[in-house]
């Protein structure tokens, strides 16, 4: 199960040249007049922000559920001809279902899945699909 980009999101990362914290995200949401300035995500290059010394960004997805994921650059690999970038090379755990209700809703869902006697168990399994595994993660499944 992967997020489908239904919600707004942003990256928060330090600009290694200025030392300033910058936010990168979608700029067509009508927020330009009262929100913090955003670097347009379709114009931002990861190589401008990520360096071996400046190797962490915070990714926030769905500002209501407020999922925060630390993105860490661990290695800069040689560019491969024909490869499409960026590429996820590692990670942990499956994405939480869309609109689960943040970390509290996700924890509740996990508790339900561990208890086949729970009154919401059948409904939750039907909603997720019987093959949902919260520990599953394959980098190749991540689409940018």
pLDDT tens digits, 6-64: 888 999 999 999 999 999 998 765 555 556 788 999 999 888 999 999 999 999 999 99
What domains are defined for the chain?
A: 1-73 (3.10.290.30), 100-144 (no CATH)
- pTM score, whole prediction: 0.80
Question: What is the secondary structure of the chain as a DSSP string?
Answer: ----S-S-EEEEEE-TTT--EEEEE---SS-TTTSPP-EETTT--HHHH--SSS-EEEEEE-TTTTEEEEEE----PPP-TT--S-------SPPPPTTS-HHHHHHHHHHHHT-TTSTTHHHHHHHH-TT--TT---GGG---
Which pLDDT score is estimated for 108? Answer: 97
Does residue 115 register a pLDDT over 90? yes
CA 100 to chain centre: 15
Which pLDDT score is estimated for 14? Answer: 96
Which pLDDT score is estimated for 32? Answer: 54
pLDDT band (50, 70, 90) for residue 138: very high
pLDDT digits (tens, 9 = 90+) for 12-23: 999 999 999 999
């Amino acid at each position: 199960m992967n997020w489908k980009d239904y919600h707004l999101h942003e990256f928060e990362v330090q600009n290694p040249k200025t030392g300033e914290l910058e936010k990168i995200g979608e700029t067509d949401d009508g927020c330009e007049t009262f929100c913090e300035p955003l670097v347009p995500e379709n114009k931002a290059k990861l190589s401008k922000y990520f360096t071996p010394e400046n190797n962490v960004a915070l990714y926030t997805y769905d500002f209501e559920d407020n999922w925060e994921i630390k993105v860490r650059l661990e290695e800069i690999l040689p560019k491969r001809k024909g490869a499409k970038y960026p590429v996820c090379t590692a990670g942990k755990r499956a994405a939480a279902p869309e609109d689960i209700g943040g970390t509290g809703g996700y924890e509740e869902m996990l508790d339900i899945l561990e208890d086949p006697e729970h009154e919401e168990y059948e409904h939750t399994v039907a909603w997720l699909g019987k093959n949902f595994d919260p520990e599953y993660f394959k980098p190749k499944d991540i689409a940018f």
